Amino acid sequence: MPKEKATRKTKAKAVSDGGKKKKDPNAPKRGLSAYMFFANEQRDNVREENPGISFGQVGKVLGERWKALNPKQREPYEAKAKTDKQRYEDEKASYNANDEEEDEE
C-alpha cells in the first residue's frame, strides 16, 4: 500500500473514555488549512467547469486539483493558512496566558 493513513476521521471517538488527550479548556481552534482557502477559491472555479456536479465529485476533483497545483500555486493558499495560523497563535497566547491567571470574563 502506498500510504494509507489509518489516522483519519478521528473525531469519530478518539479514546473511549480514557481521557488521555484532554481537550484544552479554551481550545484555541487552530487556524484554517491551506486547503480551506484553496477550496474557497476553487469551489467557484470547479463548480463552473463542472456545472451540476455533486459534492462527491467536487470534493474529489478539488483535492486532485489541489495536488495538481505546484508549490508556487499553493503559495498564496499556504500564505493565507499561515496568516490564519498567526491568528491561532494569538488565541493560543491568550489561552496560555489565561491558564496562569488573569480573568477577563
Partner DNA sequence: CCACTGATTGTTCCC
Partner DNA sequence: GGGAACAATCAGTGG
Q: How many CB atoms lie within 10 A of CB 87?
A: 14
Total residue count of the chain as it appears in this document: 105
| 8-state DSSP, 52 | T
- 484553496: which residue's cell? 38
Can you tell me which of 1, 25, 54, 103 binds DNA, judged by CB under 7 A? 54
| Residue 104: CB minimum distance to DNA, A | 20
Nearest to 73 by CA among 46, 37, 49: 37
Of the two residues 21 and 72, which places its CB atom closer to DNA in the complex?
Answer: 21
Total residues binding DNA (CB under 7 A)? 45
Of the two residues 1 and 15, which places its CB atom closer to DNA in the complex?
Answer: 15
Nearest to 84 by CA among 25, 35, 42: 35
Binding positions for DNA, rule: CB under 7 A? 6-7, 9-15, 20-24, 27, 29-36, 39-40, 43, 47, 54-56, 58-60, 62-64, 66-67, 78, 81-82, 85, 88-89, 92
